[in-house]
Amino acid sequence: MLIAGSYPDGRTLWIRNEQFAEFFDAFPARTVLFDLRDSCVSELLAECPQFDSYFAEQDLRYFLVPAEFDYNFNNHIERFTTEKRQKFNYDLRNIRKREPVLHWGEEDKADLFIDLVNRNFGVESDYANDDDANEVRRVVDELKQSDRLKTLTIEVGGSPQAVSMSLLHGNKMVALYAASNNDFNNLGKLLNFETIQEACRLRVDEISYMTGMQWKANWQMKSEPCRTMRKPPGPWAETLDQ
C-alpha cells in the first residue's frame, strides 16, 4: 500500500534513490511493486545498478491524448488503415441497429460489472471469488464517495448489458472497469468508444487505459513502458506465488 494500492500503473516510488537500498533490505522476503514508471526506474538504476535484475519485468501503459485528435475520437479512427477503419465503423453501425440506450452518471455499478464478467467467464473470471469482487466494490465506493466516479451504462432491449466505470481526477480520466454481455457482438467496442468520446467532451488532457490487452495497441493508443520490481527476481516458481 506504499504506492497506489491496487492500481499502480505508471506510479513512482516515494523513496529517494539514495535511500532505496535501505528500504529494499527492509522489504519482506517476497515483494512486488507493479508497473513503475520506466523513466523513474532508469534514474534509480543509474544510481543503484546492483538492483537491475529485480526490475527485469516490463509492460506497456496505454493512453490517449484527446487534444491530438481535436477531442473527437472519430478523427483518431480516420488514422486507421482503410480496411480497419471501415471494419470499425461497420461494427459500430451494426450494434447501433439494436438501438442501445446510453446512460451517463455517477452511480455505483460495481455489482453489474462483476455480474457481467462472471457471466462471460464463469469460474475463470477474475471476480469469481469474494476477495477480488469486494476489492472492486471497495474501489468503486471510494470513487463514488469522493465524487470522482464516471459511469456509463448501456441498455439493450430494456435491460443493462454493458457498463464502464472510470476515475475522473483533475483533468485526467482513467478507464478502470468495463464489461459487456458477450452475446451482443461489438457492444464492448461501443462501450469503449463512448467512454473515450465522453472523455473528449470533458476535454481531459489524458484518458488512461492502463496496462495490457492487445486491443489497446490495435486502436493505436499511445504507450509508455513501465517496469515491475520483484524481490526475489522473477520469474517466481509456482510455490512462491501461492
pLDDT computed for residue 235 by the predictor = 72
pLDDT computed for residue 14 by the predictor = 83
Classify burial at 210, counting beta carbons within 10 Å of its beta carbon; exposed 0-12, middle 13-18, buried 19 or more.
buried
Cβ atoms of 216 and 62 within 8 Å: the answer is: yes
pLDDT computed for residue 1 by the predictor = 43
Tallying the residues shown for the chain, one arrives at: 242
Q: Which amino acid is at 221?
A: M
- Tens of pLDDT along the chain (242 residues)? 455 555 666 778 888 999 999 999 999 999 988 889 899 999 999 999 999 999 999 999 999 999 999 999 999 999 999 999 999 999 999 999 999 999 999 999 999 999 999 999 999 998 999 999 999 999 999 999 999 999 999 999 999 999 999 999 989 999 999 999 999 999 999 999 999 999 999 999 999 998 888 999 999 999 999 999 999 997 775 544 43
Task: Report the alpha-carbon distance of residue 72 to residue 75 in Å, rounded.
Answer: 6
Cβ atoms of 1 and 202 within 8 Å: the answer is: no
Question: Cell 523513474 maps to which residue?
Answer: 40
pLDDT computed for residue 213 by the predictor = 86
pLDDT computed for residue 149 by the predictor = 96
- Give domain limits for the chain: 17-62+225-241, 66-204
pLDDT computed for residue 173 by the predictor = 95
List, in sequence order, every residue forming a beta bridge with 164; answer none if it has no partner: 152, 178
Cβ atoms of 229 and 20 within 8 Å: the answer is: no
pLDDT computed for residue 239 by the predictor = 44
The CATH code of the domain at 66-204 is: 3.40.630.30
pLDDT computed for residue 21 by the predictor = 95
